Structure 1
């Protein structure tokens, strides 16, 4: 079966809800988890019909291939409540599509779209009271797939588990972020898995990021793998640069994630009449723009923070500070995109999906 409806999905309710013990006015990002999760298992060539079950640990054999060969991909998305307590998702089919693009690259069986969408809708209805309503908060949603099949042989697994778990999270404030432009390490390479949301991509970022933190920066701006002359991403986010009144971002490639927030920002910016340029951006160009005053803004974009402004960067042992603007593109674009997400404005792009 590759097409299902919500009615096909069974629900096992928890007997020990954590809801009453959760402080919704003090929600750290991704550390408090809702009562239930969605689970489906791939075995003998097909995925089982998803089930909603109590949030719980997973038991795996020590020889499960996830531990040895890293077959694991994930997504990040959110559910929002508006002032009427109606529930909305933001471009969820894009997350489903990208999860399967990532899966294909790591030789993981793809998830049928109806399993993803109908399963997610069912889960959100069961845990709808976990979607916070305080300003800026949302229910963070983490779909992920990993190899559960056993064996030490270096080959794709024959069994997998698909889970959607959720975590109510408060407003994400990154504060003033300073970054170091990476001169040695690479996030990904041509022909590699940089465009996939593979767990190993993020594991490989932690060490060079810690080196930057030890030097007083918050994050790393990743550069290309061969020359380190072109910027590509900012930490785990896509990156935008504003030079004069033009908003620039690098094109997606084998090395750069096709961010859903990134492409939403591009469409909104064009609609607002902002000059947009999708092209390679050299470190030299950014440094020169910082020196001559034409570099107005830099910011990262992603699900968690939506937009995270960068206040300064370091390169070759020299620091550069960006101006503080009252009319920044970052603030304007973040307001426009979050107004759509929270149903505070019209949605001219048809990006919202209401959970009825």
Structure 2
């Protein structure tokens, strides 16, 4: 089956946290025989900051950030059996959704794939006339990359016929154990861009523990933190390309996951970085959110912190030997249950069930 996928960017992770999710999911679906074309706009300097070349498992169409070009690429939806419009494309999202749905041929499976469901739902609740609210009536399926039952119930209340989470996962081809890199040496590393609904949590879970433990070495990676006031024991390394993520994860004694506020409040929303760190065999400390145990077992495969003091306490008690044991257990778990091959099997089953039901209804 042919998939037309309209998303933010497959080729660039620059200010685009969904990139590794897209790559893992689409690579695994391609391996199951899907013919995929990914359409992404040339905006936010992403094409100037590519971190992969166009892959062999997916055709990529980069289009200019103009309304006319948007309409032209949206028209190609007619060629696909499955048409996906992702959230957060970044250029005229509402218009793109409208044009893509208009172009779909009769019988095509129409999907809205939400890669930031808590934020999208908050936007929909605040805007009763939001275009996506109206479009849900004509969309066959909403997929999300997290959120659990709270997101499923919320989307159904808004009129979605069906909503199913397809969670983040690990792509073992891109995220795996590597040799340490002296550039990332330290006791605790955190990798994440500076975002409005994350900054206060970074202060609480990362910068405050650094202040409390001046003899520990902290490492901060990600875009946007250059003018942030930091304790002397925090080293800022700037943007870390995806090619260096494995080394960033395995070199410090532990790495930290800090969810955005909306993700933490909703729960059941493991960030991509959770699986990337586990896939590299890193010892991960994560802020608490409901549903963690569905993915990694607390105290055995991951350390959980409810506040900054917990982070400091975990670091104080963590020996290199225990860190290695936790990292190995996490790696074993994600390889066993949480790879994109697992997720693609689930998505493939969903797609085929929906297509089969549509064919039976048409007979």
TM-score by length of 1: 0.32
Instruction: Give the structure with the higher percent strand.
Output: 1
Instruction: Give the structure with the higher percent helix.
Output: 2
Bigger relative contact order, structure 1 or 2 (CA pairs below 8 A, ≥6 apart)? 1
